[in-house]
Amino acid sequence: MAYSGSEQITTIVPHPNKYPHLPNETIRAITTDFDSRIWLGYYTKGIFHFDQKKKCFVKYNLSEAHDNSDWDRIRSLYTTSSGEIWVGTYAGIVRIKNNGYQLYESKNIAELPNDRNYSFKEDNEGQLWVACWSGVAKFDFKTNKFQYFKGQEALGSYNIRNIEYADRELLISTENEGLLLLDIPTGALKNITIDNGISGNSIYSSIKDKKSGYYWIASLGGISIYDKKKGLVHHISEKEGLPSHMVYGLLLDSDKVWISTTKGIATIDRNNFSVTSLNMDEGWQAREFSEGAYYQDRKGTLFFAGINGLNHFSPATLNITKELPKLKIHIDDTRDFSEGITKSYKDNSIDITIEPIVFTKDPNNKILYKLLGYDDSFHTFNNSPIHYTNLPDGKYIFEVKNSLAKDIAFKSIPIIINKPFYKTTWFFILLLATSFITFTSWVLVRNQNIAKNQKKLELKIEERTDTINRQKERLIKVNHTLDEKKQRD
């Protein structure tokens, strides 16, 4: 999607001068503290935060990481309502406050299921919920301890990627078991899976739209919108315009849900579910974003991170507009189609190139083309030359258009492949004349032959008649002689 305000997208990537300390590695977690400083968690390189004095990112050192590198394998960052920063790692939990930190490990805490922690969420009761790679934990800020909760045992077999809180309920995204809804007061558990119509059981994140009551579920198969009473409300996949079927993050802002995927960023209208994919060539760290690396701060600023770095922006500064490209067409290396294109039957192949001319590209738009009279339907232009070979003679129209354009074809170019000589009118006239002459000649020769044969037959008949007459005369003479002889006797 084309948009103005792309210059308002801040990009933070490793740079030898500006950000010399940032590692060249995938970012897996983001948060900001109460001083609006950005904190980043890397796949294996630890925690980095922005130092206001040095004006650059520096590493937050954990002494334990020298002996156990799993403390530098960051999976989640979360800023609590009191300003503490909680860090989920492969080795346990890091709680950063008052210029120091405290560690929590499952071997020392019965209520902490596992040291791998993927997500944190604070509820309205002063409790912090922790998504673990085999269950869920609860930390009570009032007692400053991890505590048991109703339904905890039932969650022990689930690998949890993400946890959200809404209306005294936990939304628990699992690795392969769908979305779990835990009613906190009762401990009752509801499991939503592909059997309920959602697009996949591998869930990366989920949110609840309090306005509609719908659950938005991001999975390996796309996004499913689910209602407890109605069931599946809507399914959104690449077919509906998602950049990728693998959706990592969901962030609700005003009337839009912002999503991060393996192939870019998009927005979805929370009312009609229409998808708008953003152009990843404009101001982004890369096309690929990463699991867990999405965040919305208290001011509404959105943060998305991926394989090369971080982007953050205020959604209000991006004015998303549809801008469809002009299409420059070359057919057999010519652009002059004022009189169409006419080709001989011997030269009955055409080569076509299409060049979209636009300052900003819209990922939702596709260039469609069709050779009317030859193709049954439109084809999607894939930036490769188009070849039509051995076209039958006839009249064609080459049509090309933008898929998002609701009007008729953007361009229509008439193309004529002339008939071969044996299909032309003059050839039929010549063939007819030749046939007439041949037939006439045959009739004349036939009549001549008949006349000759008739003449021969008449001559033979005359000869035969003469012979018969002579024989008749001789017989008459003989009979006359015999009659005379009888009279004498």
Give the per-residue pLDDT at 109: 97
More confident residue, 72 or 470: 72
pLDDT (average), residues 462-475:
77
**3-320 homologous superfamily:** YVTN repeat-like/Quinoprotein amine dehydrogenase (2.130.10.10)
Confidence of residue 431 (pLDDT cuts 50, 70, 90): confident
Confidence of residue 479 (pLDDT cuts 50, 70, 90): confident
1 pLDDT more than 50: no
Give the per-residue pLDDT at 322: 56
Confidence of residue 301 (pLDDT cuts 50, 70, 90): very high
What percentage of the chain reaches a pLDDT higher than 70? 94
pLDDT (average), residues 243-254:
94
Highest-confidence segment of 257-266, 407-416, 461-470? 257-266
The enclosing H or E element of 487 equals: helix 425-488
Burial of 126 (0-12, 13-18, 19+ CB in 10 A): middle
Give the per-residue pLDDT at 2: 45
More confident residue, 441 or 376: 376
pLDDT (average), residues 147-172:
97
422 pLDDT more than 70: no
Give the per-residue pLDDT at 461: 77
pLDDT (average), residues 461-477:
77
Give the per-residue pLDDT at 58: 96
Please tell me the chain's helix, strand, coil percentages from 3-state DSSP, rounded to the nearest 5: 20, 40, 40
Q: Which of 390, 389, 383 is nearest to 369 (CA)?
A: 383
CB 295 within 8 A of CB 253: no
Confidence of residue 427 (pLDDT cuts 50, 70, 90): low
pLDDT in tens, 344-387: 888 889 998 888 876 455 667 788 999 999 999 999 998 889 99
Confidence of residue 6 (pLDDT cuts 50, 70, 90): low
Pick left, alpha or beta for residue 211 (phi over 0 → left; psi -120 to 50 → alpha; otherwise beta). alpha
CB 103 within 8 A of CB 145: no
* Sequence spans of domains, the chain: 3-320, 326-423, 429-489
DSSP codes joined into one string, 129-172: EEEETTEEEEEETTTTEEE--TTTGGGTTPPEEEEEE-SSEEEE
Give the per-residue pLDDT at 318: 79
**326-423 homologous superfamily:** Immunoglobulins (2.60.40.10)
Instruction: Count other Cβ atoms within 10 Å, centred on residue 54.
Output: 9
Burial 242-251 (b: 16+ CB within 10 A, else e): bbbbbbbbbb
* pLDDT, the chain, mean: 89
CA distance 476 to 286: 132
Give the per-residue pLDDT at 464: 77
CA distance 101 to 246: 35
Question: 363 Cβ partners below 8 Å, 6+ apart?
Answer: 1, 243, 264, 277, 278, 279, 280
pLDDT in tens, 118-152: 999 999 999 999 999 999 999 999 999 999 999 99
pLDDT in tens, 203-223: 999 999 999 999 999 999 999
pLDDT in tens, 32-62: 999 999 999 999 999 999 999 999 999 999 9
Beta-bridge partner residues of 305: 310
Question: 92 Cβ partners below 8 Å, 6+ apart?
Answer: 71, 103, 104, 105, 106, 115, 117
pLDDT (average), residues 453-458:
78
Confidence of residue 303 (pLDDT cuts 50, 70, 90): very high
Give the per-residue pLDDT at 361: 59
CA distance 117 to 126: 19
Confidence of residue 410 (pLDDT cuts 50, 70, 90): confident
CB 130 within 8 A of CB 93: yes
- From residue 152, how far is each of 37, 89, 167, 168 by CA, in Å? 35, 21, 19, 15
Confidence of residue 249 (pLDDT cuts 50, 70, 90): very high
What percentage of the chain reaches a pLDDT higher than 90? 63
| Ramachandran angles phi, psi of 484, nearest 5° | -65, -40
Instruction: Count other Cβ atoms within 10 Å, centred on residue 481.
Output: 10
